[in-house]
Amino acid sequence: MKPVLENLFYYLDNFHRVLEWIGERYADLLDSEERGFIDRFPALPRASRALFVRMVMRKGQLFRASKLVYEEIGCARAAAGPLAEAGWIVVDPAVSLDELFDLLQKPELCQAFGLAGALRAARKEAQLEALRADHGGERAFSAWWQDIAARDEAYRIVAKPLCDRLRLIFFGNYHQDWTEFVLSDLGVFRFEQVEISEAARGFRTRRDIDDYLQLHACRERFGNGEAPLDVLRDVPPPGTGNEWLASRRHKLLFQMGQHLEKLREWAGACAVYDDCAYPGARARAIRVLEKDEQFGAAWERLRVAMAAPESDAERQHLLRMAPRLARRLGHPRSAAGKPVPPARLDLALPRPDGQWWVEGVVRDHLNRDEAPVFYVENALINSLFGLLCWDAVFAAIPGAFFHPFHHGPADLHSADFHRRRAAQFDACLAQLDDGSYHATIRRNLDAKRGISSPFVFWGALDETLLDLALHCIPPAHLKQAFLRILQDIKANRTGFPDLIQFWPAERRYNMIEVKGPGDRLQDNQLRWIDYCAQHRMPVTVCYLQWAPQ
């Protein structure tokens, strides 16, 4: 049985919470339309307010009264009146033929246009194409089919963009919406309760809001296939020092640079990357210069980057480019140190019948009562990190949390994420030195169970796995893994080996990366394997082949 909320006006109450939150924290940044809406909306009749929120939460801007049937609202026509007087909806709006086809069902369209024969039986898409030539322009909904005017009416919610702006101001993004409240009320999502100071605002100036809206519009245009250089002209310049807003700008620029690379527009791609601080942009710019056969310029940039790589990922890319560029320029070949190869296990097993997956086949083959094997991939080490460092991850740093529905800090992928919380992370990791980390991890496992975290995989972490991990993995190894995660959270949360095997009697473990026939190690996996080898953390790469039948 699906969970049900007893309060039928739960969505309206949640909408009011958003308006109150915005009014309290962002009053100085709102324009006259936004302030006017927040002031006037509570004065409307409850049924009208509820109808408005129902329309806001649904897709599109056009609705029919006959489709807005809600027990708690009653007559939609009566509720719509005050909304029309406020100017937030239009009753009987002008609609195009395409919009009319979205509003009416096929039998209604056949009646309205007197369709007969093959056209009556055709699909709606074909009917639309057949009628489009003779029915251009817009007209009132009721004018398209006068018979419907007596029993139904249509509404266009013209305040939808305004509500989208208010949603943006509250959440700080467009990917979260009103369902966050519902899922939270139903217990589907639980969020850490962080103390949010009055100074912790996602938007600090009105320009921040306007820049985000402009960035979003540019992202939509780019996603719809518009030429990146045309879109680029409208990307707002670097703004007011808002880090998370700047990161969104850099991400869009990086995506545009990648697209320009595909188009072989080298000059444009390089210019975009030069204006971009997104991870990997510097290495991509060097690669673009190489593709454009500007080998000297590429070499000079590579030397600068190699002196201070931004991450292990960048260093890996630079090391691949360096020999090619050196050869092009006639430089002597340098002796590059090769990483220590990991232990290797070759298996030839019969292909199983029925449903199977490669990692599961190897797991079941290696599993022993005295040495159990678990499929963990990125879940185990990340979860242990998240549980030990819970207080640091959810520290009330200004600008990290600015509404109650954060799945993680807003600056999680910022370059200074660790630096801004250095004292808190140092305190957490120090527990690996004094042995108190066991108690902290277990305490947070119980106290925070089910609360959204960017690191903890609740569904993958059971008591048996946790007990074995804490018993068999040395704290020094955990510390090395956690430090690497903190070096580059976006890149280093992935790439962990697929399996882990424990020998509890000997208090040791082994991580196992599984590769099936034709599969190869990915870059992030190679970086983790190399790191583990440097710090003597046991890793084996298992290559599986199917034995002849």
pLDDT higher than 80, residue 89: yes
DSSP state of 200: -
Return the pLDDT at 335: 60
Return the pLDDT at 299: 96
DSSP state of 368: B
Please state the rounded mean pLDDT for residues 92-118: 92
- Spatial contact of 396 and 230, defined as CB atoms under 8 Å apart: no
- Spatial contact of 499 and 376, defined as CB atoms under 8 Å apart: yes
Dihedral of alpha carbons 534, 490, 397, 193, sign: negative
DSSP characters over 429-493: HHHHHHSTHHHHHHHHHHHSTTB--SS--GGG--HHHHHHHHHHS-HHHHHHHHHHHHH-HHHHT
Query: Which residue(s) pair with 374 in the sheet?
Result: 500
Q: Which amino acid would we find at residue 318?
A: L
Residue written as token pair 């310049």: 237
Return the pLDDT at 252: 95
Q: Which amino acid would we find at residue 303?
A: R
**Which of 410, 387, 17 lies closest to 180 in space, CA to CA?**
17
pLDDT higher than 90, residue 106: yes
Q: Which residues contact 377 (CB under 8 A, 6 or more apart)?
A: 359, 496, 497, 498
DSSP state of 405: T
* pLDDT interval class at 2 (50, 70, 90): very low
pLDDT higher than 90, residue 387: yes
Return the pLDDT at 1: 42
Please state the rounded mean pLDDT for residues 452-464: 94
pLDDT tens sequence across 160-214: 999 999 999 988 888 888 887 766 666 667 889 888 777 778 888 999 999 999 9
pLDDT tens sequence across 325-376: 999 999 887 665 666 788 999 999 999 888 899 999 999 999 999 999 999 9
Domains identified in the chain and CATH numbers: 9-171 (no CATH), 203-329 (1.25.40), 343-546 (no CATH)
pLDDT higher than 80, residue 55: yes
What radius of gyration do the chain's Cα atoms show? 29
pLDDT higher than 90, residue 492: yes
pLDDT higher than 60, residue 439: yes
pLDDT higher than 60, residue 4: no
| Average confidence score pLDDT of the chain | 91
Return the pLDDT at 183: 65
Weakest mean pLDDT among 31-45, 172-186, 461-475: 172-186
- Spatial contact of 352 and 361, defined as CB atoms under 8 Å apart: yes
What backbone phi and psi angles, to 5 degrees, belong to 261? -60, -45
Q: Which amino acid would we find at residue 176?
A: Q
Return the pLDDT at 308: 93
Spatial distance between the Cα atoms of 176 and 447, rounded to a whole number of angstroms: 26
pLDDT higher than 90, residue 148: no
Burial letters 89-101, b for 16+ CB under 10 A, else e = bbbebebebebbb
The SS3 call for residue 514 is strand
Return the pLDDT at 243: 80
Please state the rounded mean pLDDT for residues 488-505: 95
pTM over cut 0.85:
no
Return the pLDDT at 323: 92
Spatial distance between the Cα atoms of 246 and 431, rounded to a whole number of angstroms: 35
Return the pLDDT at 189: 75
**Which of 503, 488, 479, 481 lies closest to 378 in space, CA to CA?**
481
The most distant pair of C-alpha atoms in the chain lies apart, rounded to whole Å, by: 87
- Spatial contact of 506 and 498, defined as CB atoms under 8 Å apart: no
